[in-house]
Structure 1
């Protein structure tokens, strides 16, 4: 075993740097295991970098396995790493169930990975899938979704203007559309505006 298990995060970071500097496929499993439990953000980022230093043919299938069967941190970190690798073979792991995962961190990682990995022809279907999450969670969670949607560009306009399941989702759509038009605008939900829009018959 390497110093990836050391109690000192600086030692773990140095170990990840050493593995990434001289890649060795025999360490891929240990890197993935550490991703599943590592509490330090900087160490996790270095673990991702170390994985990226190995051949995609070896890392991507293992990362996909983590997304499908790992614990929530392992899944989130695997999605983050896949979004950095940007391999076209990673797209099939992005499913509607993953985009609506009950774990917020997994869902947010899935949103970020999806907009990086999506093929051009799938941008509108992805925007439609992401729109089902409008109104979800905290302000930070909603801003994460808005950023993911905005990364898809103008294709999101009809999705944002379409029917939404409730006033909170409509308010989130309005706030996202405002950001699409003016990236410097602040992200604020306007529930009263959303109610007025709904009253005018633009929502179901």
Structure 2
């Protein structure tokens, strides 16, 4: 029972982290929701089993949640299975089963994105200028770009977060947020992010999230 409660608690905490702009791309909401669909009745059913069968019922329930979540939940398996008897063995068996049936694009869950897609939808652009008092920097400049990226071959769309290091300029028009637009980063002494027909331009030293 404790293991099931811990799984649900960690899943809820993972969902809540989407409120932090830099964590949006690391939370697989679809996987968490898929894993816990119907969890309420399932928990009640496991709890109603005779005492001798109850622990095994909850263990099977947690393993099923992890399996339904798929490869995207593998990186969080250690935390999600805390308190589950034989957790390491359960995690290993479930991982092997999932990888055996996963497509090539599913085998590497999460992780850092590589490069930029040709087209994406802008979801958020955040820019804060440097704040100084005399010769002292009170707050460094910062910029974030949230992109919704189409999945390959009908796969779900994903969020990408680009974090700017030492941004110095931002120019934006509302057209940048009107559906999918072409996106690129112009290399050079600085990395300039451009979306649409120059509808959005962010000038920065470099971007974290490109590779």
Do Structure 1 and Structure 2 share a fold, with TM-score over 0.5? no
More helix by share: 1
More strand by share: 2
Normalised by the length of structure 2, the TM-score is: 0.29
Structure label with greater radius of gyration: 2
Normalised by the length of structure 1, the TM-score is: 0.29
- Greater RCO (CA < 8 Å, at least 6 residues apart): 2
